Amino acid sequence: MAKQKIYCLSGLGADYRAFSKLDLVEYELVHLPWITPKTDETLSEYSLRMMEGIKEEEPFAIMGMSFGGMIASEIRNHIQPKHLILISSIAQSAELPKALRIAGEKGLHKVFPSKLMIGIPMVYHKVFGVTETEDKQLLDAIMRDMDPLFLKWAVNAILNWNFDSEDRSVRIHGTRDLLLPVTENIDYEIKDAGHFAIITHADEVSSAIKSTLAEEASTENQAIPL
């Protein structure tokens, strides 16, 4: 029997390594790599092009981490995965922190050179909630490989995002996320985890994902009483 596919969308400019510590051997993780954005392309328009990498003819779930969760939420408007799983992310633009919304309205993000937006290790280690040496090294490697032009486009697209949806998603979020602070509608709170919970608390995140998919399988296998 073929494994169920989970299409994975990583964080801002990150890649498949964001999912490298998850223990989900029962499923087939399919990473959707970022494509080059077009000039002035909105997050909604970009999401439609990202969607082309998904094969809809077989059951699948979509899992998005941080920025990837925003893209996943947009994609959900056009296709029907069995599950939409958001990790350290938000489900609609109204959930963006107030400070980020103000920065977007004033265009403050446009004054920073692309390379400076990647940041200083000491700072982003704290913001992402990374303390262990191995996790810091992984985050550093991801940041080094990040395309600064993609990052600049993505930040602008996020700050100008206008999206509202009532579609249900399963949300996994660290209680100490400094970048996108925890909101009210969280299904699985990862205690003391920051924004990089998918790496720093991979076992707990994996368990939450398995529980979500197991609940669905249990429901499908229940006998209908006569």
Asked if pLDDT for residue 221 goes beyond 70, the answer is no
Percent of the chain whose pLDDT exceeds 90:
61
Q: Spell out the residues 6+ positions from residue 66 whose beta carbon is closer than 8 angstroms to its own.
A: 10, 11, 12, 14, 87, 88, 89, 179, 180, 195
- What is the model's pLDDT at position 115? 55
- What is the model's pLDDT at position 222? 42
Under 8 Å between Cβ of 124 and 143: yes
Span 195-220, average pLDDT: 86
Report d(CA 69, CA 73) in Å as an integer.
6
Average confidence score pLDDT of the chain: 87
Side-chain-side CA neighbours of residue 85 (13 Å): 26
Q: What pLDDT band is residue 101 in, cutting at 50, 70 and 90?
A: confident
Asked if pLDDT for residue 29 goes beyond 90, the answer is yes
Q: Cα–Cα–Cα angle for 185, 174, 107, nearest 5°?
A: 80
More confident residue, 4 or 218: 4
Q: What pLDDT band is residue 118 in, cutting at 50, 70 and 90?
A: low
Q: What pLDDT band is residue 166 in, cutting at 50, 70 and 90?
A: confident
- What is the model's pLDDT at position 128? 93
CATH: 3.40.50.1110, 1.25.40.10, 3.40.50.620, 3.40.50.1820. Which one for 5-221?
Answer: 3.40.50.1820
Asked if pLDDT for residue 117 goes beyond 80, the answer is no
Span 190-204, average pLDDT: 97
More confident residue, 101 or 193: 193
Q: Spell out the residues 6+ positions from residue 133 whose beta carbon is closer than 8 angstroms to its own.
A: none
- What is the model's pLDDT at position 223? 40
Span 202-213, average pLDDT: 96
- Choose among 74, 50, 46, 33: nearest CA to 169: 74
- What is the model's pLDDT at position 1? 67
Report d(CA 201, CA 131) in Å as an integer.
11
Span 180-195, average pLDDT: 91
Span 144-154, average pLDDT: 88
Span 167-185, average pLDDT: 90
Under 8 Å between Cβ of 21 and 205: no
Report d(CA 68, CA 195) in Å as an integer.
13
- What is the model's pLDDT at position 120? 84
